[in-house]
Amino acid sequence: MKNVLYNDTLRRIEMTALILESPDAYSEDDLAEYFDKVSVQTIRRDAKFLRDMGIEIHSSKRKYTIEKIPELLYNEMLSVYLVLNRYDTIKNLKLIKKRFNKSNTAKTNYADRHKDKTMMVFVKILKAINNREILEIEYLKGTDTIPAWRRVTPIRIQRFYRSIQLAGFENDDENKLRFYSFENISAIRFLNDIISGSKIYSEIREEKVHKTSKIKKYPDLTEYFSTVWGVYSGGEPEDVVLRFPKEIGSELENKLYIETQEITEKSDHYIMKVKVRISYEFISWLMGWGGIVKVIKPKSLIDSMLVKAKEITDTYK
């Protein structure tokens, strides 16, 4: 049974879905009957709520229609619906909790032993995002063996498959957008929580560190990720053209790799065009095709493929 706290949100999202699927099909009475034990007044309040959110919902001849819904809001509503129906869970949450609560394991006091800091860590990160506050994370990157402290301006918590990441600007530099896996974060410091007179407080004062971001406008990450292949962001978006043989065309056409993909059938082959931020992950995907795929452009990607191919062949010499 769903928690009553979720019911209003779930109903409003489902109401939006119904109207989008069948414009001019549902009246207030129809919707009240559909949701069972909901009054017409509740449906009217829901419609006003959706309207206030930015959804252009209107009633014509007593039937509802939605003329426009912002793409970002559409995405957010679908994500919320998945979460509230408990179909969206965090991978390795037990390990993340253990890491953030590691100082509790040696405690003998009952209250201290039963403290759980993890949920408050996420609450504080979201507050830092909303208040444009800078924080510090101890992070283990790639092949490093020792984690290092990094100063980050957080702008979003996001999912990649079932993993969860913190997106932010390193050193409050808008040209250094980075993505940090929570599984590799060993500790977090919230600058506004640091006690006056402590060693860390003194170091921050000496460095004249700002506690709030100086970046004027954060990027639209929904648009940003439309050109990201997988999880790693790569550089600036580039126009990539790939050639695939005819025999794998149907497989290619049925796959949704990235929003910018365009697949065109030719007489004896297929052409795939994508605007993508070229990253190690994208190159690895190309390498996985072996000799099946041929990069037509850009030249920089062709050169990268040749270097990787040489590294592989040199290993076996």
- What is the structure's pLDDT at 87? 58
pLDDT digit string, tens, across residues 248-257:
877 888 888 8
Return the higher-pLDDT residue of 100 and 51. 51
Q: Which residue has the higher pLDDT, 250 or 176?
A: 176
- Both 21 and 121 in a single domain? no
Strand 148-160 and strand 177-181: the pairing is unpaired
The residue from 84, 104, 133 where one domain ends is: 84
Query: Both 194 and 246 in a single domain?
Result: no
Annotate 2-13 with b (16+ C-beta within 10 A) or e (fewer). eeeeeeeebbbb
Domain co-membership, 78 together with 97: no
3-class SS string, 160-177: ECCEEEEEEEECCCCCCE
Band the pLDDT of 26: cuts 50, 70, 90. Answer: very high
Query: Is 216 inside a domain boundary?
Result: no
Does the pTM of the predicted model rise above 0.85?
no
Helix axes 4-21, 40-53, angle to 10 degrees: 80
Rounded mean pLDDT, 114-130: 83
pLDDT at 105: 47
CATH number, residue 35: 1.10.10.10
Residue at token pair 């949704």: 256
Q: Is the domain of 229 the same as that of 305?
A: yes
Residues 203 and 97 grouped into a single domain: yes
Say if 215 falls within a structural domain: no
- Residue 97 predicted with pLDDT over 50: yes
Peptide bond just before 298 cis, omega within 30 deg:
yes
Residues 188 and 99 in one domain: yes
Same domain (yes/no): 196, 104 = yes
**Range name among 56-65, 85-94, 159-168, 220-229 with the lowest pLDDT average:** 85-94
Residue 20 three-state SS = helix
Nearest to 188 by CA among 94, 106, 96: 96
Q: Is residue 218 part of a domain?
A: no
Q: Is the sign of the CA dihedral 90, 183, 211, 170 positive or negative?
A: negative
Distance CA 272, CA 293 (A): 10
- Is it the case that residue 60 has pLDDT exceeding 70? yes
Asked whether residue 147 is domain-assigned, the answer is yes
The confidence score (pLDDT) of residue 194 equals 63
pLDDT at 281: 87
Do 201 and 230 belong together in one domain? no
pLDDT higher than threshold 80 for residue 166: yes
Q: Which of 38, 60, 84 is at the close of a domain?
A: 84
**pLDDT of the residue at 1:** 42
Print the domain residue range for 52. 4-84
217 part of a folded domain: no
Please indicate, yes or no, if residue 213 is contained in any of the structural domains.
Answer: no
Does the pLDDT at position 46 exceed 50?
Answer: yes
Question: Which among 84, 109, 136 is the end of a domain?
Answer: 84
Contact (CB, 8 A) for 169 and 150: no
Report d(CA 67, CA 76) in Å as an integer.
Answer: 18
Question: pLDDT > 90: what percent of the chain?
Answer: 41
Tell me: pLDDT of 44 over 90. yes
Domain match, 98 and 134 both: yes
For the residues 174-195, what does the mean pLDDT come to?
84
If one counts the domains in the chain, the total is: 3
